[in-house]
Amino acid sequence: MKATLKNKKRWLILSAGTLILTIAGILYYRYLTAYEPGIQPPLGKRIPFLRRSFKAEEGITLHTSTGTHIVIPKDALVNDKGEAVKGKVTARFREFHTAGEILHSGIPMQFGDDRTDYFSSGGMMELRVSQNGKDVQLAENAQVQVDLASAITPDKDFKLYYLTDDLTWDNGAAFETVRNTRRDSALAALPDAGVKPIDPIPGDDDIIFEIVGGNNLTRAFRNTKWRLLEILSGEDPEFAFSVNWTSVKIEQPSDPTEPFTIHFSLKAVDYKGKITKRDCTVSASPILTGEQLEAAMDQFNKDLAAYEKELADIEREETRLLQEKGLLNRFQMQEFGICNIDKLQSAGLLATLNITFDFESEIQPHINRVMLYMVLEDKNGVLKFNAFEWNKLPIADTKFSLVAVLPDGKVAYVPSAVIMKKLESGNVRKLTLTTERYDYDTFDKCMKSTSNPRFI
């Protein structure tokens, strides 16, 4: 009897232990295969905000280098008690326009039980306002006017989505796509740098001439050599400087820095006794010597420096304006947070890939929860998979790169060109990929690089 009770007790303990281990195993498996909700930056740090302080009573207009234009109206803010906010507040803004920026942000972009539905983004932004470190909200009837730079030309299937409570996307709303008229008007209004100052010392390609005879004014410039600047009317240079003109008239400019205007005319009688007349008007400057040349050179150097500075300023402003997007997506925000101009798409499961990486022999990706990101470069989309799904990755209908975030502070990266080459080589469904390794900071800099944007 005692033996039977002892065996029964042992069986109960073993059963309880087995049950506990089974439950623990199930819970751990769920932990390994689960996706954390909300915003999860893969590299552990977020893209920095653009910050601007302003008075709540005055509002603020934000304009970014991409062309995004945001107007927060005056007296539009309330605190968590619904009371009007007064005094200094801080706006925090950032925007995401490339697949690399979307990857970096960690903002969720997938849907559905199989996670193959995803957003193809035409531009995403985040806007918050705070006072003394605490977020404030928009008043009930207030709204923020937004012109968000458009990375692509959205079609009718795009909608404006809002990330409710930073967790789930709403059902989408309408928006309007407009031309960036602020940029276009500013480009049209850029001033002209004017005429480049003329070097007092002529070059090898300049046409040099002298004037002989003429009226008293002309004789005053006897022995003066002239440099031709432009033929304003009349004959071409080859004819103009191959005949003896019967009349020459020199017009002095009212501004000594301007060139002279010289009129040449020729009257002749042909073999039939008919009088013919030819005319030519040129712009020219006398070639200076001695002290006059030294003074002219000093002035020329000053004028040239001013001209080059003005030209550089105009070119710099033109470059800045051309970096703005030509299209803007216009809408109104009724609350602060994350907004996205998106098209809901499906990667599909008709064909899948089974992928193995070179780092799997060093790191157990299932145990270490290594996340893999499929970066759809042309569609501004990012798909996220845990290690239990690497044997059924969807084959995207666009080029894609793969980014695995490893637990040792490294990123394993496979460029899209390598993947596309393997896929194009035949009916391949199982791939073994060799990765490029980067530390988090180097990978972060590469994603944001404008000179070598490898991950965009």
String of DSSP letters for 392-413? SEE--SS-EEEEEE-TTSEEEE
Are residue 168 and residue 259 in the same domain, yes or no?
A: no
Which range is least confidently modeled, 302-311, 402-411, 437-446?
437-446
Are residue 76 and residue 138 in the same domain, yes or no?
A: yes
Are residue 157 and residue 62 in the same domain, yes or no?
A: yes
Overall average pLDDT of the 143-168 stretch: 92
pLDDT per position as a tens digit, 39-49: 888 887 788 89
Using only C-alpha atoms, the chain has a radius of gyration, in whole angstroms, of 37
Question: In whole angstroms, what is the distance from residue 131 CA to residue 89 CA?
Answer: 5
Question: In whole angstroms, what is the distance from residue 221 CA to residue 359 CA?
Answer: 86
pLDDT per position as a tens digit, 273-321: 787 888 889 999 888 888 888 888 888 889 889 989 999 999 999 999 9
Coil, helix or strand at residue 257: coil
Q: What is the pLDDT, as a whole number, of residue 7? A: 63
Assigned domain for 160 exists: yes
Q: What is the pLDDT, as a whole number, of residue 293? A: 83
Structure tokens at 158: 């795009």
Question: In whole angstroms, what is the distance from residue 70 CA to residue 46 CA?
Answer: 22
Are residue 438 and residue 360 in the same domain, yes or no?
A: yes
Are residue 82 and residue 154 in the same domain, yes or no?
A: yes
pLDDT per position as a tens digit, 70-123: 999 999 999 999 999 999 999 999 999 988 889 989 998 887 666 778 889 999
366 with 32: CB under 8 angstroms? yes
Assigned domain for 200 exists: no
Task: Go through 182-204 and write b for each residue having 16 or more CB atoms within 10 A of its CB, e for each that does not.
Answer: ebeeeeeeeeebeeebbebebee
Does residue 230 or residue 268 have the better pLDDT?
Answer: 230
Coil, helix or strand at residue 309: helix
Residue 100's CATH number:
2.60.220.50
Coil, helix or strand at residue 25: helix
Question: In whole angstroms, what is the distance from residue 433 CA to residue 422 CA?
Answer: 9
Are residue 160 and residue 73 in the same domain, yes or no?
A: yes
Are residue 328 and residue 357 in the same domain, yes or no?
A: no
Structure tokens at 47: 């893209």
Q: What is the pLDDT, as a whole number, of residue 440? A: 87
Are residue 335 and residue 271 in the same domain, yes or no?
A: no
Are residue 336 and residue 405 in the same domain, yes or no?
A: no
Count of CB atoms within 10 A of residue 219's CB? Answer: 12
pTM of the model: 0.76
Domain count, the chain: 3
Question: In whole angstroms, what is the distance from residue 70 CA to residue 149 CA?
Answer: 11
Are residue 272 and residue 214 in the same domain, yes or no?
A: yes
Assigned domain for 305 exists: no
**234, pLDDT greater than 90:** no
Assigned domain for 116 exists: yes
Assigned domain for 25 exists: no
Mean pLDDT score of the chain:
85
Which range is least confidently modeled, 24-28, 143-147, 165-169?
24-28
Percentage of the residues of the chain whose pLDDT score is greater than 70:
85
Which range is least confidently modeled, 49-53, 206-210, 350-354?
350-354
Assigned domain for 314 exists: no
Are residue 172 and residue 63 in the same domain, yes or no?
A: yes
Q: What is the pLDDT, as a whole number, of residue 377? A: 83
**31, pLDDT greater than 80:** no
Structure tokens at 248: 């020459």
Are residue 367 and residue 436 in the same domain, yes or no?
A: yes
**204, pLDDT greater than 60:** yes
Structure tokens at 72: 């927060």
Overall average pLDDT of the 195-212 stretch: 85
161 with 339: CB under 8 angstroms? yes
Q: What is the pLDDT, as a whole number, of residue 214? A: 58
Side-chain half-sphere exposure of 122, counting CA atoms within 13 A: 25
DSSP letter string, 133-181:
TEE-EE-TT--EEEEEEPSS---TT-EEEEEETTTEE-S-B--EEEE-H
**456, pLDDT greater than 70:** no
**256, pLDDT greater than 90:** no
Question: In whole angstroms, what is the distance from residue 26 CA to residue 11 CA?
Answer: 22
Amino acid 276 reads: T
Assigned domain for 235 exists: yes
Question: In whole angstroms, what is the distance from residue 377 CA to residue 405 CA?
Answer: 18
Assigned domain for 17 exists: no
Q: What is the pLDDT, as a whole number, of residue 3? A: 59
* Domain membership of residue 340 as a residue range: 50-180+324-344
Position 21 confidence tier, pLDDT thresholds 50, 70, 90: low
**453, pLDDT greater than 50:** no
Position 33 confidence tier, pLDDT thresholds 50, 70, 90: low
